[in-house]
């Protein structure tokens, strides 16, 4: 039973989720978002508010679907919606800080906060989102067992920071096999942890059993792993129109993404991809040719196979939950991540 159109763009698929399965949650989500943003109103520009209004909202969708997985179709408790908003604020904080670290000029096709307002203001705006996210999660506590969620939120935020630092300090002279192990640890911290939090928090806030919450968290982390690898592949294969950023930025910035690591392993240290990753200057023609070679190489296909394996593991982790439209949507979402094609 397919809930999602796996051939549609991510924005269309998630828009369909919000318009159908999550239609009753959407007005409440928007109301809690307005409430959370109100204290920052005088400090945010229209571009920064657009990060919330025009984002895909994938993580809060996962949280709400996971909550419905154990709560059913009845209206969710307010604390679930508040948790979904807090999760999105935590995600936006990471986006702002990511763009600072990367020196990125664009975010979702619009000027990034650091490009529009400078690094100093961007750091502070990102910090505001982070603090407000934590405040929101604290506000969800209405029973003793919810206290564990705050520990999980803080641990996730810590892991994200560690993942960002791990990525910056990656030694590209390492053997590609070691680089691959480092990559997975970084992906777990930087990307997968937040998806694990989304799914686990959804079940927890819906008063689900702790075992179900942990299982949902494992699902979320597999989903996040698959999404990270697919983002790596899209970076190499999609142009700016499709991805919202120039093609091949991971290679230009010498970022050890999984397909690039596999390409280095496949072709050895004298190939252009390895030389570029070591910092050798290159002209646009060489870069274009190298990107084409990587996209046509075995390493690219191998990375896609890894992403698909993570998505299939995510689907299997949902099997113990009752069959129904919310479980099917979460299953389809995991498959959609890898079925969009590159």
Distance CA 30, CA 49 (A): 13
pLDDT above 80: residue 82: yes
297 domain residue, yes or no:
no
Q: Which residue has the higher pLDDT, 15 or 79?
A: 79
Q: Is the pLDDT of residue 283 over 90?
A: no
Per DSSP, the three-state class of 130 is: helix
Q: Which residue has the higher pLDDT, 6 or 46?
A: 46
What band does 54 get if pLDDT is binned at 50, 70 and 90? confident
pTM for the full model? Answer: 0.92
Residue 179 lies in a domain: no
Tens digit of pLDDT for each residue in 127-167? 999 999 999 999 888 777 677 899 999 999 999 999 999 98
272 in a structural domain: no
Q: Which of 91, 104, 31, 83 is nearest to 58 (CA)?
A: 91
Does position 214 have pLDDT exceeding 90, yes or no?
yes
* 258 domain-assigned: no
Range of the structural domain that residue 34 is part of: 10-169+184-228+314-339
3-state helix, strand, coil in the chain (%, to 5): 75, 0, 25
Q: What does the pLDDT average to over 63-91?
A: 97
CA distances from 179 to 166, 173, 190, 309 (A): 11, 9, 16, 20
List the beta strands (DSSP E) in the chain: 106-107, 110-111
Instruction: Judge contact between 87 and 198, C-beta under 8 A.
Output: yes
- Residue 38 in any domain: the answer is yes
Give the count of domains, the chain: 1
pLDDT at 112: 87
In a domain, 264, yes or no: no
Answer whether residue 238 is part of any domain: no
Considering the domain boundaries, does residue 88 fall inside one? yes
CATH number at residue 115: 1.10.600.10
Residues linked to residue 106 through DSSP beta bridges, in sequence order: 111
42: helix, strand or coil:
helix
């Amino acid at each position: 039973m397919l809930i999602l159109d796996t051939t549609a763009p991510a924005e269309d698929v998630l828009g369909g989720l919000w318009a159908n399965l999550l239609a009753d949650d959407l007005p409440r989500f928007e109301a809690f978002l307005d409430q959370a943003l109100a204290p920052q109103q005088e400090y945010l520009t229209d571009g920064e508010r657009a990060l919330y209004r025009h984002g895909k909202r994938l993580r809060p969708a996962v949280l709400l679907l996971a909550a419905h997985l154990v709560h059913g179709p009845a209206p969710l408790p307010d604390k679930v919606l508040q948790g979904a908003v807090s999760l999105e604020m935590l995600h936006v904080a990471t986006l702002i800080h990511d763009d600072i670290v990367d020196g990125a000029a664009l975010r979702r096709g619009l000027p990034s906060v650091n490009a529009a307002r400078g690094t100093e203001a961007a750091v502070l705006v990102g910090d505001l989102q982070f603090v407000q996210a934590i405040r929101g999660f604290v506000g969800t506590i209405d029973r003793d067992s919810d206290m564990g969620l705050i520990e999980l939120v803080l641990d996730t935020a810590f892991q994200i920071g560690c993942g960002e630092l791990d990525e910056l300090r990656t030694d590209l002279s390492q053997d590609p096999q070691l680089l691959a192990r480092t990559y997975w640890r970084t992906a777990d911290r930087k990307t997968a942890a937040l998806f694990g939090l989304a799914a686990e928090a959804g079940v927890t806030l819906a008063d689900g059993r702790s075992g179900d919450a942990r299982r949902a968290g494992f699902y979320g982390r597999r989903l996040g792993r698959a999404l990270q690898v697919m983002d790596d592949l899209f970076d190499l294969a999609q142009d700016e129109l499709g991805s919202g950023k120039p093609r091949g930025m991971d290679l230009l910035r010498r970022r050890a993404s999984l397909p690039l690591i596999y390409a280095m392993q496949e072709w050895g240290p004298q190939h252009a991809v390895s030389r570029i990753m070591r910092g050798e200057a290159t002209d646009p023609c060489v870069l274009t040719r190298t990107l084409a070679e990587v996209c046509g190489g075995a390493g690219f296909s191998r990375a896609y196979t890894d992403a698909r394996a993570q998505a299939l593991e995510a689907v299997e982790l949902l099997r113990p939950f009752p069959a129904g439209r919310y479980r099917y949507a979460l299953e389809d979402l995991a498959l959609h991540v890898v079925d969009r094609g590159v």
